[in-house]
Amino acid sequence: MTESFALTKPTDLDSFHKLLTTERDRFTRKMLAAGSFVVENPHEVALSPVATLAQKSGLAPTNFVRLAKAMGFSGYSEMQRLFRDPLHKSFQPTLDERIRHSRGEQVISDPDDITALGQSFAAANIASLNHLSDRMARLPLDAAVDAVLDARVVYVIGVDRSFGAAAYLSYALNRAGVQSVQIVGLGSAIEDHAAVMAPDDLLIAISFPPYAQDTVTVTDVARRKGNRIIAITDSAVSPITENALLVLTVEDAELHGFRALTALMTVVQTMMMGVAYRKRKARGGFDLDDINA
């Protein structure tokens, strides 16, 4: 935290999320990562000891304890009580809960049964897409399309598990006649690629827990330069959302340690279709079939 005085302890999950978002500058990056996991996994917080959260999130237990104390709680146990009783009464289930209730976390007795594995993963993806469909209208997709079309060049960064979506997005943008550069960092420090962005350029950053450091670094460079940023991530308090122009939150299914890309790719392709149709409307004879994306 950057302030010495204490925050007013949240009394419900809504105020917890609001405090984490509005006062994000007062938390360390590790605390924000812990807060993001807590907000996205309230069922886990309600039922699990801090050691389990640490194992599932890849963060140290102390990050959750420090977050709780910074929020005004005496420790993790008091924060956990906030998530217990009202969880199912006052809030819609998160994607993680929906997956759990639609066989996304079903126990597979025989890991060698590839059919059962495939069926479980398909069920998780279906839950993920249903969740996305329910909240699609709340995503700022129109504004994202406007930002893409207003940019001189669109830079795209996404590494590790987000690399495939970033590669596709950059490819599709170029096919649609929007100049795009995928930042991959080959041959030099990755921040050097972001440092050449002009004032009218846009950065689209894609990252999910555990948040690749290269993506965080590039986003920090773009922020310092004053470039507009669209963050595609899991939470409003993700480390790539600070001062972002737009945040598109995507909650993809995760099964046995494998994170699906189904919802993420659906959001990326929806944004690209919006770009293509908007360009056709502006240019008249623009043939969408020529994009071949």
Whether residue 49 has a cis bond before it, omega within 30° of 0: no
Q: Which residue has the higher pLDDT, 56 or 200?
A: 200
User: pLDDT tier at 80 (50, 70, 90 boundaries)?
Assistant: confident
- Pairing type for strands 228-233 and 246-249 reads parallel
Cβ-proximal residues to 270 (8 Å cutoff; 6+ apart), any chain? 136, 141
For residue 109, the model assigns a pLDDT of 57
The Cα–Cα gap between 208 and 251 comes to: 9
Q: SS3 of 230, please?
A: strand
Least trusted range by pLDDT, from 45-49, 91-95, 116-120, 242-246: 91-95
Q: What's the chain's average pLDDT?
A: 83
CB 9 within 8 A of CB 73: yes
Phi, psi torsion values for 122, nearest 5 degrees: -65, -40
For residue 270, the model assigns a pLDDT of 96
User: Tokens 């009218």 map to which residue?
Assistant: 200
pLDDT tens for 143-192 read 999 999 999 999 999 998 899 999 999 999 999 989 999 998 776 678 88
Phi, psi torsion values for 92, nearest 5 degrees: -65, 145
For residue 90, the model assigns a pLDDT of 43
CB 32 within 8 A of CB 2: no
Give the residue-averaged pLDDT of 20-25. Answer: 84
User: pLDDT tier at 272 (50, 70, 90 boundaries)?
Assistant: very high
pLDDT tens for 224-256 read 999 999 999 988 888 899 889 999 999 887 766
Does residue 103 surpass a pLDDT of 60?
no
For residue 107, the model assigns a pLDDT of 53
Most confident of 29-43, 114-128, 181-195, 215-229: 215-229
For residue 12, the model assigns a pLDDT of 84
Q: What percent of the chain has pLDDT over 90?
A: 36
* Nearest partner of 99 among 249, 202, 241, 252, judged by Cα: 252
Q: Looking at the DSSP assignment, which residues form a beta bridge with residue 258?
A: 255
Phi, psi torsion values for 265, nearest 5 degrees: -65, -35
The Cα–Cα gap between 165 and 85 comes to: 38
For residue 245, the model assigns a pLDDT of 95
